[in-house]
Every structure is written in C-alpha cells, then in structure tokens.
C-alpha cells in the first residue's frame, strides 16, 4: 500500500490514513477532509460543503493529478526506516502490525491510524482491552436480549388476552356459515 509515497509525492502535512478501501486526508479532529478511492484513484466529493475548499487551498496538485498516477502511487510498496511492532484487536484476535513511530496520530505500515485506546506496543495491554471490550459487548447484548424478552412476554400476554376475547365472542355469537 503506497499511502506514504502518495503523502510524500503530494507533500501532505496532514494525517493520511487508509480505511474502508479509501485513503483519507485529515486533521486530528476531522479524519475525512479529503477522500480518495483506492480502487480508482479518484478524489471523492467531500462529505460536507465545509470541506469543499480543502484540497483547492492545501493540495491543488492532487486535484490536477491523473487518477491513474494516484492509483499507481497507492499500489506501490512503501519503504520504512523502522518496523516497530504494535498490537490491536478485532473479532477475538490480537493483531500485530508494524509502524515507524508508535502512538497517535501516527499510522501503521498498512495505513491504519493508531488511536491510543486501540493500539499499543504492549501486547498484554491490548489483550486486556480486547477482553474488556468483549465483556462490555456481551453485557450489552444480554441487556438487549432481556429487554426484548420482556417485550415479547408482554406481546404474548396481550395476544393471549385478545385470543381469549375472540373465543368468548365466538362462543357467545357463533359465526354462521
């Protein structure tokens, strides 16, 4: 993934990261001031009109670049001076990645921004985060299930009441066919 070559070629001083098959150029507070599709190399429309001038004012050369040039940069291999292991988690796994400089707002070699609560050089810390996150998710799901079961019990009780009313009506006033 050539996110770094892209950043160097266009002299980008903002945060560049890869996520959801897109390259984002952003700030510490707004990650998507500009977006580029990784499959086409095309600049995508900004998410709001507030960001419409960002590339014009900061990186007009990106707007002038041929999408094929951008795509070629993004598909090339980046080179790094250091490969420090960092860890994150997802779907019950601890994932090892590498970076030049750990911690936010830096990115891993594959372009993922390292948030302080999702990346660490200490694997044991990440294991703890992953377990805590799984515990909280389980607790939330169990709460949702209990709430749904309570609603279901109320609906079943109301159904039984309405069914009994219908049967009573039928017994008192049979339908003649």
DSSP secondary structure string for all residues of 50-92: GGTTHHHHH-HHHHHS-HHHHHHHHHSPP--S--EEEEEEETT
Tell me the HSE value of 50 on the side-chain side, using a 13 A CA sphere: 5
Give, for all 177 residues of the chain, the pLDDT tens digit: 789 999 999 999 999 999 888 999 999 888 889 999 999 999 998 877 778 888 989 999 999 999 999 999 999 889 999 999 999 999 999 999 999 999 998 999 999 999 999 999 999 999 999 999 999 999 999 999 999 999 999 999 999 999 999 999 999 999 876
Tell which residue, 35, 17, 24, 29, has the closest CA to residue 106.
17
Contact partners, residue 92, CB within 8 Å, separation at least 6: 130, 134
CA distances from 30 to 27, 50, 74 (A): 5, 11, 22
Q: How far apart, in whole angstroms, are the C-alpha atoms of residue 106 and residue 16?
A: 9
Q: How far apart, in whole angstroms, are the C-alpha atoms of residue 16 and residue 7?
A: 7
Q: What is the pLDDT at residue 106? A: 93
Contact partners, residue 120, CB within 8 Å, separation at least 6: 86, 87, 102, 126, 129
Place of tokens 């019990």: 153
Q: What is the pLDDT at residue 52? A: 83
In our burial notation (b when 16+ CB lie closer than 10 A, e otherwise), range 105-130 reads bbbbbebbbbeeebbbeeeeebeebb
Q: What is the pLDDT at residue 49? A: 78
String of DSSP letters for 37-60: ETTT-PEEPPSSGGGTTHHHHH-H
Q: What is the pLDDT at residue 17? A: 93
Q: How far apart, in whole angstroms, are the C-alpha atoms of residue 99 and residue 85?
A: 7
Q: How far apart, in whole angstroms, are the C-alpha atoms of residue 25 and residue 7?
A: 9
Q: What is the pLDDT at residue 42? A: 92
């Amino acid at each position: 993934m050539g996110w770094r070559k892209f950043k160097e070629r266009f002299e980008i001083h903002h945060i560049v990261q890869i996520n959801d098959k897109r390259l984002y150029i952003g700030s510490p507070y707004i990650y998507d001031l500009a977006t580029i599709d990784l499959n086409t190399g095309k600049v995508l429309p900004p998410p709001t009109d507030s960001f419409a001038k960002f590339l014009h004012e900061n990186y007009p050369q990106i707007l002038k670049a041929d999408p094929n040039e951008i795509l070629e940069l993004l598909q090339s291999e980046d080179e790094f001076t250091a490969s420090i292991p960092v860890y994150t988690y997802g779907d019950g796994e601890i994932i090892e990645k590498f970076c030049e400089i750990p911690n936010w707002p830096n990115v891993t070699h594959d372009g993922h921004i390292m948030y302080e609560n999702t990346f660490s050089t200490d694997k044991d810390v990440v294991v703890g985060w992953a377990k805590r996150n799984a515990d909280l998710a389980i607790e939330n799901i169990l709460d949702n299930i209990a709430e749904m079961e309570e609603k279901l019990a109320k609906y079943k009780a109301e159904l039984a009441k309405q069914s009994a009313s219908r049967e009573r009506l039928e017994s008192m006033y049979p339908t003649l066919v």
